[in-house]
Each structure stands twice: as C-alpha cells, then as structure tokens.
Amino acid sequence: MFNPPHSILYIDALHAFLREDWGTQDWTTDAVPDRPMAAQVVAKAELVLAGMPIAVNVFRAVDPGLEVRCLNADGERVQPGQEVMTVTGSSRSILMAERVMLNLLQRLSGTATLTRQFVEAIEGTGARILDTRKTTPGLKVLEKYAVRCGGGFNHRLTLGDGVLLKENHIAAAGGIRVAVESAKGIAPNLVKIEVEAETLDQVRECLTVADVDGILLDNMTNDQMREAVQLRDASGRRMFLEASGNLSLDRAWSAAETGVDFLSIGALTHSAPAADLSLRLA
C-alpha cells in the first residue's frame, strides 16, 4: 500500500485542471439528460496502477455526491479488461470529470508501469532506480509518487532537498573543489552534496574532496562506470555513485551490473507512455 501525497498539495491543481477543461460551458454534457448511472474504469492493457486516490478526488471535486469505489490499489499490476474503479451517481457529473480523471490516471499509471519495467530489468544487481527533476510543472509531486508506486525511489523533490553540483554550477564556481566548499558553507548540516562528473579525472578529483557524499556519472560508458566503482572502492570513501544519461531499458542491466548504487532515469517522468484506461458509462 502506497501513501499518496496529502491532497492539500494538489487539490488546487485539480480544480485548475477542471476549470481549464470546462471552459465557459460543457455544451455536450448539458445536451444529455442528467440521471443516476454507473460507470467503470477499465484497464485496456497490462499496467501498474498509480493515481487512484487522485482520481477519486477529481470525482469528488466535481460532485461530492458521487460514490466512488476503488477495486485495486496503487502499485498493483492489472490485466487488460480488468475493472479498477466504479462510480455511481449523476451522469453529468461523471461525464464532466471523465477526461481530467483519465488524463491523470493514465499519465501516472504510465510512469508507474515504466518504472516497474526498469526495476525488474535490474533485479538482483543491488542498484536502485531513481527519478529526476525532469517532471511536468504542476505535476511533480504526483509524478514522483507514481515512481514510488512502480518500485522506484525519489531523487530530490525540490532544489532544497540536496546539493547537486552539475556542469554549469561547477563552471560558475570555478571548479569542483571551490564549488563543494562553497556549498558546504551554506547548506544545512544534513544536506548531502553530490557532484556531476563527466570524466574519470573528475571522479578522481571528487574522491580527494572531503565533503563530497556522492558522484553522478554523467553519460559514461559501462567500462568507465566500472572503473569509477573501482576507484571509489580503492579510495575507501563511502560515497554513492549514480549513473545518469542514455540509460534505456536495454542497457539498464549492464549499467547496474557495473556496481553503481543508483540509475537515475529522466524518462520515467518526461517520456513514459500513457497507460491505456477508459471509462464506460452504463
């Protein structure tokens, strides 16, 4: 069972999404009778669910009188033709909520499904799948929740959750060492400092800087990442190594097998195909 984000973090967004979809008037729904009806949300392909509580809140935002029942929980794998939710009540209310509800449920379930594929692809290696900040503005909290539903782990939720000194930060600071020292001087005590390295020489430099907690291995080959792991282990430093860049499903296992601790996958939140679900009113 996954605990979704508290609704206070996204309920205003749901109302904004509904206002955007409705415009000035839903002429189509107004043209049909309003009567008590039942609807089912059905999976049309094998997928991992994410966003069921959010879908419930969409229906409640439209009409608190709708009765919504979840037949499956977030994180569960469902099969084609499987009913995952039922809704009863005003037909007009159901129709007015349908598209926004499906847009969110399909997107979040798509992220959870792709995440599960990556998690299963590296099973047994000891590495973990991380998301990134390459999220949809306004949906970050929900998309990162969907990653957890798929079995992945969250990287930073906000910029304040950690220090990640990337290429441009290092260039602006004038080098790795000065960038780390500056960050250590201003960041809270428990905030970890991670440095992006594009070369093995930069990995070696990071290993000599006392306050580096982890290194992001950016767009390195498997051989380079394997050597980076060897350099870290030989140094005796207890810092984590995170692989990032061009990590497809086909490459995930071989990258994880190099001994890195994490694989960060931007595609989980910026390129996951929408899961195939539909609502049937009867």
1 pLDDT above the threshold of 90: no
The 10s digit of each residue's pLDDT in 224-276 is: 999 999 999 999 999 999 999 989 999 999 999 999 999 999 999 999 999 99
Contact 229, 241 (CB under 8 A): yes
Q: What is the rounded average pLDDT for all residues in the chain?
A: 96
Of the listed ranges 4-8, 73-77, 87-91, 97-101, the one predicted with least confidence: 4-8
Residues belonging to the active site: 99, 134, 166, 196, 218
66 pLDDT above the threshold of 80: yes
CATH numbers and ranges of domains, the chain = 7-119+272-281 (3.90.1170.20), 124-270 (3.20.20.70)
Indicate the pLDDT class of residue 181, thresholds 50, 70 and 90: very high
Q: Which residue, 69, 65, 89, 70, is CA-closest to 1?
A: 70
pTM: 0.95
